[in-house]
A and B are shown apart, each in its own frame.
Chain A
């Protein structure tokens, strides 16, 4: 089945220790998004790619970086995680001419 996959589902890291979250998709969608969602809050868009074009949100901290080596994969790198970065990180995909976003199951990040 076509889908959006995120690994790992649960990630624990230490304060200040770099961590990478991964997302892959078999939908062949042009657009890939990374969201941060904290408890009882709406998803907050961090950045998105349209093909290789990277679009950063103005309020996304420099601590967050992203890579998209090909259509199928996208990575979220957190260079120096702080306690405030503990959240659910959601990857989503979309097609330019279609409005729906397809979400992966998310990675819950814990920072100790």
Chain B
């Protein structure tokens, strides 16, 4: 089967650093995505990893280890507006399959 696991909830303090983990078991692998979703709004793209290593984009970084089926999203200098759900999604098959397999999301609460 295909499965993506991430913690349900996390809490952090404004200005701190938080790491949200994601592990996956899929029949194939063709990239991993992180999306941010505020309550009642659509997901917005944060990052994409297809090769092992760290991708940095401003306050957000994403890491991938394909051999371990593991990724994390690192958020630095947390702001109140970062309170949202963070969704990990994997493109499980190459070729013509353009579908994403989604995790349930991690709800992050940033406290003052």
Docked complex Cα distance between A102 and B103 (Å) = 18
Interface of A is mostly: strand
Residue of A nearest to B32 (CB): A99
> Is A40 close to B, CB under 8 A?
yes
Are B42 and A41 within 8 A (Cβ)?
Answer: no
> Is A42 close to B, CB under 8 A?
yes
| Cross-chain contact of A42 among B45, B98, B104 (Cβ < 8 A) | B104
Asked if A99 meets B41 with Cβ closer than 8 Å, knowing A42-B104, A42-B105, A45-B99, the reply is no
Docked complex Cα distance between A102 and B43 (Å) = 8
| Cross-chain contact of B104 among A40, A104, A106 (Cβ < 8 A) | A40
> What size tier do the contact residues of chain B reach?
20 to 34
Within 8 A of A (CB), among B63-86: none
Chain B residues engaging chain A, CB cutoff 8 angstroms: 30-31, 33, 40-45, 48, 50, 87, 91, 96, 98-100, 102-105, 107
Besides A44-B102, A99-B31, A100-B33, 12 new A-B residue pairs in contact (Cβ under 8 A), listed by A number: A40-B105, A41-B104, A43-B87, A43-B102, A48-B99, A50-B98, A90-B42, A99-B50, A101-B33, A101-B45, A104-B42, A105-B41
